[in-house]
Amino acid sequence: MRIVVGSVADMVSTGSTSVSAGSSGVSTPLVASPPVVMAPRTDGFEVVWAITAASRGRLEWREVGDDHPPRRSACDPYGFVPQGTETLRIRLDGLAPGTEVEFRTVTEAVQDGRCHTSDWKRIRTLDPSATSSTFVVWNDTHQHDDTLAALDDRSPRGDFWVWNGDVCNNWTDRSEIIPTILAPAGRDVTDGRPMVFNWGNHDVRGPWAHRVPEIIASPEGRPYQAFRSGPVAAIVLSTGEDKPDDHPSFAGRVAFAELHRRQAEWLADQVQRPGFVDAPYRVVFCHVPLRWHDEALLTATDYATGRWDLWSRTGRELWHQTLAGWGAQVVISGHNHEAARLDPTDDFPYTQLLGGGPRPEEATWLEGDADDRRLMVTIRRLDGEVVEQVGFEPIT
């Protein structure tokens, strides 16, 4: 299902969906976004979608090729039918790795009986035993609809897609959260590319940032995660803000020093687990890079003048030794609005890659393609021009 840029009302009226006004005659569309596929796992995934009235929801799903009537997922962890007033979310569990599933969402308004059924949509669960894997990365889109539309049109699909931070410009208006994440530029951005959401510094900024976890799904309900897709072991780290926690602009709302410490403990354990300690390819995603060109000059020391950290000092101090010992091959980031590549050194044995910025002339996407011979990582501009390309041999 592909949705063209337009209003939310236009979006939900397209495709093979049905919306009835009910006895009240209400004409507002009941559903305000496509079903957004998040948190892909080996045994399932999660679906989140936006609604405009108090509603119940369910997933109807079946394995591709199964001619039996679709099964239903309509129970939350506490035994309630999934329900809400702004969003609905359903987690599907119990699938086998590499299972291709088609699903649709059914939304029923509580008050007036309106009903909306989405088009069928497909997803394949992650498969650690697969011989290949593909992935896509966007970063620093900052609510630029023209950039988002071009990225959706031109970047490929893949086994997973990392939206690698700064999807917004700061959460100062609560009403922007849902459309920014669930219907960016009016698009169905998870059609063929299930989303792995990774927080950027702007995504944790503003008086409404603490409400974003209500919209974002992650496998373990936290902003960092790890998963295996074919020969690729992926570590997703949350770098938090680009200023200290006590900076006055945060008004005491953040505690990223503690979050960094928790991730350090988790990371040290995670890289020793089966599927990670023996992975052929070892990839890290974090919004703020762990390295930069001239760190002495470009690390902010006077935040009062509007400067900020161009690399994550606290993250690197806590994570670098573990990542280097694990054999991390590449760290993929954004943040500085400048596509860049820093090759390994004796001190930093991993490549650092950064994507571009939010305006179309500086925007990029990154694509990864791994098989048993190599992992090729390519950064492209919106016109397809290759900015950087680097290959990695499998670790044996």
pLDDT in tens, 311-355: 999 999 999 999 999 999 999 999 999 999 999 999 999 999 999
d(CA 310, CA 48): 33
pLDDT of residue 260 exceeding 60, the answer is yes
| Best CA proximity match to 136, nearest among 370, 359, 358, 372 | 370
pLDDT of residue 11 exceeding 70, the answer is no
pLDDT of residue 14 exceeding 50, the answer is no
Phi, psi dihedral angles at 53 (to 5 degrees): -150, 160
Residue 195 · residue 187 · CB < 8 Å: no
Dump pLDDT digits (tens) for 32-85: 999 999 999 999 999 999 999 999 999 999 999 999 999 999 998 899 999 999
Phi, psi dihedral angles at 148 (to 5 degrees): -60, -45
Residue 335 · residue 287 · CB < 8 Å: yes
Domains by residue range for the chain, with CATH: 8-123 (2.60.40.10), 133-392 (3.60.21.10)
Residue with tokens 């803000």: 241
d(CA 67, CA 191): 23
Mean pLDDT score, 220-227: 97
pLDDT at 301: 62
Helix (H, G, I), strand (E, B) or coil at 337: coil
- What number of CA atoms fall less than 13 Å from residue 201's CA on the CB side? 19
Residue 117, H or E segment = strand 115-117
Between 5 and 22, residue with greater pLDDT: 22
